[in-house]
Chains A and B, each alone.
Chain A
Amino acid sequence: MSVPLEHDYIGLSSEAVPSMEGSERSSSGGLNLNLKATELRLGLPGSESPERDNGVGVLKSLLVVSGAKRGFSDAIDGGSGKWVLSGNGGSEAELGKGGNLFSPRGVNGGGKGGGCECNNQNTGLGSPVQKDGVVPPQSPKPLQEKKPQLSAPAAKAQVVGWPPIRSFRKNSMATHSPKNDDDAEGKLGSGCLYVKVSMDGAPYLRKVDLKTYGSYMELSSALEKMFSCFTIGQCSSHGVPSRDGLNESRLMDLLSGSEYVLTYEDKDGDWMLVGDVPWEMFTDSCKRLRIMKSSEAIGLAPRAMEKCKNRN
């Protein structure tokens, strides 16, 4: 599960260490901020911890008098703690979730030490909201003496509002997965899984959230409701070649019968018949749905079977 990362400037708080390992912290929803001296200086990250594969910038915390200029090299050595980003990152559905980012900052003198329980954190960081990669917990102890990392780390920690892309655009990114994307899976996250549904001859496209259905039956009946209107004579007014006046039950016959089949495009870009694989596998790999005329769907079934066999 996703773990909210903590800020631990100097590593003086030992409680931060073990609790970062486990997920208890995330379940409690709280964040322990260890407040240290006011003039805490953030070191430059430069280095990434070797065991970390999420590439969060690691900062050394230095106690330096405010106002003094610090060179880059100063920042690398001598730190004894690290600063870790926390946040719930691009959660597209939750606009204005409100900065759950606890950023590094100066702390009180006298080590008030206590945790800082933030209620917002509970709402902001739930597993449904954290739509992607788990950020593995880090041990704050080791000094980071590495030289600056020269390449971008493979996986990055979630930072609220970073990179600075408007929520609207982020939502679009989630629903329009890139064509050559190898890792579309999981991109849409556990919050919602919108895919487009088109029907041959229908003037509109729809979007459905696959997460709201638990089985093929539910999906199928929802689609039938959605697209039945296109078969009830309305199509003719949109300039689409009109169909015979059809009602819902006829559509169901159509879908379950021979005239239309429900197909989907999977991660590899292949069009498969819906229903061949277990539901979970289907939702994981489905990128787009299409209600296709059966005449065009000839040849799909064997491929689907083959693919399943290959995967098995």
Chain B
Amino acid sequence: MNLKRKNPNPDPSSPDSDESTQLSSPFPDEVLERVLSLLNSRKDRNSVSLVCKDWYDAERWSRTHVFIGNCYSVSPEILTRRFPNIRSVTLKGKPRFSDFDLVPPKWGACVHSWLLVFATKYHFLEALRLKRMTVSDESLKFLALSFPNFKALSLLSCDGFSTDGLASITTHCKNLTELDIQENDIDDKSGKWLSCFPENFMSLEVLNFANLNSDVNFEALERLVSWCKSLKVLKVNENITLEQLQRLLVLAPHLREVGTGSLLQELTPRQHSELKSAFSNCKNLNILSGFTEVTSIFLPVLYPACTNLTFLNLSYAVLQSDELSNLLIHCPLLQRLWVLDSVEDEGLEAVGSNCPLLEELRVFPASDPHEDEIVHGVTEIGFLAVSYGCKKLHYVLYFCRRMTNAAVTTIVQNCPDFTHFRLCIMNPRQPDYQTGEPMDEAFGAVVKTCTKLRRLAVSGLLTDLTFEYIGKYAKNLETLSVAFAGSSDWGMECVLKGCPKLRKLEIRDCPFGNAALLSSFRKYESMRSLWMSGCKVTMNGCRLLAQEMPRLNVEVIKECGNDDCQADKLYVYRSVAGPRKDAPPFVLTL
């Protein structure tokens, strides 16, 4: 139930109304709100709110979901003041490079202060999705107890909590529909949280505990699955055996998304056929994941289930090329595929041959690239093969050990619709292995050909020319990730001056200094954030930026006591909330 608006607008037809209301739409507010409530896109809503004051008001009253890309860009007070009827919040915290250990622990992004405000202002909050936030068990307990309608919790890449916190959620949230715990730095004490669901609990639709390691009580899980008739997503952890998985599938053949447990057991022929039959009875199955410790013997069990697969996540499965090939033959409708580079180029050739509808491909390294003396993995050959066979490809994340300019040029000619092109040549500053030249022309081809490009990550040996290309051609670029690249400040300047839609720029270990940083300082207000680490900016440069742009938070993470002049890690972001009040000592706000 929506809170009523406190100050209805004056009647537009009244002669006393001012010009603004005369110019505004003749609809009553309720109609306008109703119409606007049908808008779901953030961008549309933001545009709507800029039309006029009436529309701003109507929009803010009708918004039920809010997305905050940087938790420090706004305060909970400001948020709740503007949007009184929020039911669902998505909050992102730390800079993305914190995923790669570049941000020290206890940096911030604690959700608790948000929850305190939400408890009073958003009493009917239903959904909370957090990414890279610090969440404590106390916060989870507070969440579980403060929101009687709470339904959906999703934690991705968060830290600071333990399975005790999850137990609070499962114990107290009577209406829980979604519990999605992914890739967090969690203190995994026990699987008891699963047993805390009440006896007749029926509402769960999404359960993902694939990344938790502790054993759960299988009886409790079985009961949960059999009672929750609306369960659509079930991703179990490694401790669930194949036999147990089979029983769960039999209880829930309506599942859309399944994450398998451990595949290490050997199956008797009877078990094998039972499992195969259980999978094939899952007629709605679109998404498969899990597959840790997969064996060739297991894979055929899946074949009947693959007919309708749109997303196959094999990124924890060390498969060989023939195993992948045999599997993909059965996946004609595949749109998204995540694999490890253990499948090598031959495996990717199979992708090209069997998956004409493929739109997204992610290839992760199977082994720590620092360790591996032997050059396994994928090369430009695999990528080329995919591009020849998968014309609809528009999202790629590709970790490889070598690449050439020619290959990338051909790839984007084959697939000109790339929106996300993230290429990681794993050895920093590696040139085109055939010509010895920098990889400038490769990324030049990408930005020239792929006019819809929104996200780009570059790697390999790159000079300023790459950035000239980016600035000149990448007019739709929103996110750019740069590492070990560039020759001078000019590179960064080109990007800042040339990419009108740039929102996130993250740079590490590049020769960009104060001149680059300050070349377009007004630009940063149109962006969500800028990260620069291991570059050449100095504290003075950062102070200058902070002076010129008071509405930016210019933060330097200092880890080295004696070195006062270098700005080790710089994080700049726009904010209406002012400087952080919770900054730890190593974060200096300038």
Bound pair (A, B)? yes
Pair A196/B264 contact, Cβ less than 8 Å: yes
Closest to A41 in B: B511
Question: Which residues does chain A contribute within 8 Å of B484, judged by CB atoms?
Answer: 57
Pair A170/B533 contact, Cβ less than 8 Å: no
* B380 close to A (CB within 8 Å): no
Closest to A42 in B: B511
* B215 close to A (CB within 8 Å): yes
Question: Which residues does chain A contribute within 8 Å of B557, judged by CB atoms?
Answer: 99
* B318 close to A (CB within 8 Å): yes
Pair A70/B371 contact, Cβ less than 8 Å: no
Pair B489/A99 contact, Cβ less than 8 Å: no
Pair A237/B535 contact, Cβ less than 8 Å: no
Pair A166/B102 contact, Cβ less than 8 Å: no
What separation, in Å, do the CA atoms of A124 and B401 have in the docked complex?
27
* B57 close to A (CB within 8 Å): no
What separation, in Å, do the CA atoms of A103 and B483 have in the docked complex?
11
Given contacts A40-B536, A105-B535, A204-B215, contact A167 B433 (CB under 8 A): no
Binds B, one of A157-165, A248-256, A300-308: A157-165
* A118 close to B (CB within 8 Å): yes
Question: Which residues does chain A contribute within 8 Å of B183, judged by CB atoms?
Answer: 166, 168-169
Given contacts A105-B534, A118-B560, A174-B368, contact A205 B104 (CB under 8 A): no
Question: Which residues does chain B contribute within 8 Å of A294, judged by CB atoms?
Answer: none
Pair A169/B433 contact, Cβ less than 8 Å: no
Pair B561/A119 contact, Cβ less than 8 Å: yes
Pair A57/B429 contact, Cβ less than 8 Å: yes
Question: Which residues does chain A contribute within 8 Å of B145, judged by CB atoms?
Answer: none
| Interface SS majority for chain B | loop
Among B293, B436, B461, which residue has its beta carbon within 8 angstroms of that of A196? B293
Question: Which residues does chain A contribute within 8 Å of B566, judged by CB atoms?
Answer: 35, 105-107
Pair B536/A105 contact, Cβ less than 8 Å: yes
What separation, in Å, do the CA atoms of A183 and B373 have in the docked complex?
8
- A35, A164, A180, A198: residue with the most chain B Cβ atoms closer than 10 Å: A164
Pair A70/B464 contact, Cβ less than 8 Å: yes
Closest to A169 in B: B364
What separation, in Å, do the CA atoms of A16 and B426 have in the docked complex?
28
A85 to chain B, nearest CB (A): 8
Question: Which residues does chain A contribute within 8 Å of B184, judged by CB atoms?
Answer: 168
What separation, in Å, do the CA atoms of A147 and B436 have in the docked complex?
9
Given contacts A44-B487, A99-B559, contact A179 B461 (CB under 8 A): no
Question: Which residues does chain B contribute within 8 Å of A187, judged by CB atoms?
Answer: 367-368, 371
Pair B264/A133 contact, Cβ less than 8 Å: no
Pair B293/A156 contact, Cβ less than 8 Å: no
Closest to A64 in B: B488
Pair A164/B427 contact, Cβ less than 8 Å: no
* B563 close to A (CB within 8 Å): yes
* A38 close to B (CB within 8 Å): yes
Closest to B464 in A: A69
Pair B488/A66 contact, Cβ less than 8 Å: yes
A240 to chain B, nearest CB (A): 8
* A295 close to B (CB within 8 Å): no
B133 to chain A, nearest CB (A): 13
What separation, in Å, do the CA atoms of A178 and B339 have in the docked complex?
13
* B78 close to A (CB within 8 Å): no
Question: Which residues does chain A contribute within 8 Å of B48, judged by CB atoms?
Answer: none
Question: Which residues does chain A contribute within 8 Å of B559, judged by CB atoms?
Answer: 98-100, 118, 120
What separation, in Å, do the CA atoms of A164 and B426 have in the docked complex?
9
What separation, in Å, do the CA atoms of A180 and B561 have in the docked complex?
45
In B232-276, the 8 Å CB interface with A consists of 238-239, 241, 243-244, 247, 262, 264-265
Pair B488/A150 contact, Cβ less than 8 Å: no
* A90 close to B (CB within 8 Å): yes
Pair B536/A96 contact, Cβ less than 8 Å: no
Closest to A45 in B: B429
* A81 close to B (CB within 8 Å): no
Among B244, B315, B488, which residue has its beta carbon within 8 angstroms of that of A41? B488
- B373, B424, B509: residue with the most chain A Cβ atoms closer than 10 Å: B509
Pair A207/B215 contact, Cβ less than 8 Å: no
Among B368, B376, B402, B511, which residue has its beta carbon within 8 angstroms of that of A132? B368
* B16 close to A (CB within 8 Å): no
Pair B536/A106 contact, Cβ less than 8 Å: yes
A97 to chain B, nearest CB (A): 5
Pair B99/A160 contact, Cβ less than 8 Å: no
Pair A155/B483 contact, Cβ less than 8 Å: no
Given contacts A33-B563, A166-B183, A203-B241, contact A99 B374 (CB under 8 A): no
Pair B103/A96 contact, Cβ less than 8 Å: yes
Question: Which residues does chain A contribute within 8 Å of B538, judged by CB atoms?
Answer: 38, 106
What separation, in Å, do the CA atoms of A133 and B2 have in the docked complex?
61
Pair A99/B536 contact, Cβ less than 8 Å: no
* B26 close to A (CB within 8 Å): no
Question: Which residues does chain B contribute within 8 Å of A182, judged by CB atoms?
Answer: 374
User: How many residues of chain A have a CB within 8 Å of chain B?
Assistant: 96
B466 to chain A, nearest CB (A): 11
Among A69, A118, A159, A173, which residue has its beta carbon within 8 angstroms of that of B367? A173
Pair B366/A173 contact, Cβ less than 8 Å: yes
Given contacts A96-B159, A176-B316, contact A203 B243 (CB under 8 A): yes
Closest to B369 in A: A163
In B341-368, the 8 Å CB interface with A consists of 342, 364-368
Pair A160/B101 contact, Cβ less than 8 Å: yes
* B513 close to A (CB within 8 Å): yes
Question: Which residues does chain B contribute within 8 Å of A196, judged by CB atoms?
Answer: 264, 293
Pair A69/B430 contact, Cβ less than 8 Å: no
Q: Mark B130-160, 1 if CB is under 8 A from A, else 0.
A: 0000000000000000000000000001010
Pair A66/B513 contact, Cβ less than 8 Å: yes
In A133-166, the 8 Å CB interface with B consists of 133, 147-166
What separation, in Å, do the CA atoms of A166 and B362 have in the docked complex?
14
* A117 close to B (CB within 8 Å): yes
Closest to B397 in A: A164
What separation, in Å, do the CA atoms of A102 and B560 have in the docked complex?
10
Closest to A168 in B: B183
* A12 close to B (CB within 8 Å): no
In B59-101, the 8 Å CB interface with A consists of 97-101
Among A35, A70, A170, which residue has its beta carbon within 8 angstroms of that of B487? A70
* B428 close to A (CB within 8 Å): yes
* B175 close to A (CB within 8 Å): no
* B199 close to A (CB within 8 Å): no
* A299 close to B (CB within 8 Å): no
Question: Which residues does chain B contribute within 8 Å of A85, judged by CB atoms?
Answer: 428
Closest to A237 in B: B219
Among B159, B262, B568, which residue has its beta carbon within 8 angstroms of that of A99? B568
Closest to A100 in B: B559
Question: Which residues does chain A contribute within 8 Å of B536, judged by CB atoms?
Answer: 40, 42, 104-106
What separation, in Å, do the CA atoms of A44 and B366 have in the docked complex?
29
In B275-328, the 8 Å CB interface with A consists of 292-293, 315-316, 318, 320
Closest to A153 in B: B427
What separation, in Å, do the CA atoms of A92 and B533 have in the docked complex?
21
* B218 close to A (CB within 8 Å): yes
A-B CB contact pairs (8 Å), 6 listed = A44-B438, A45-B461, A66-B489, A90-B368, A120-B104, A240-B243
- List 16 other contacts, CB 8 Å, given A42-B536, A104-B536, A168-B211: A44-B461, A45-B428, A64-B488, A95-B185, A97-B105, A107-B565, A114-B562, A119-B561, A147-B436, A148-B437, A158-B370, A161-B100, A161-B102, A164-B99, A164-B483, A178-B376
Interface residues of B (CB under 8 A from A): 97-105, 157, 159, 183-185, 211, 213, 215, 218-219, 238-239, 241, 243-244, 247, 262, 264-265, 292-293, 315-316, 318, 320, 342, 364-376, 399, 401-402, 424, 426-431, 433-434, 436-438, 461, 463-464, 481, 483-484, 487-490, 508-509, 511, 513-515, 533-538, 557, 559-563, 565-566, 568-569
Interface residues of A (CB under 8 A from B): 33, 35, 38-42, 44-46, 55, 57, 64, 66-72, 75, 85, 89-90, 94-108, 112, 114-120, 132-133, 147-170, 172-174, 176-183, 186-187, 196, 198, 203-205, 207, 237-240
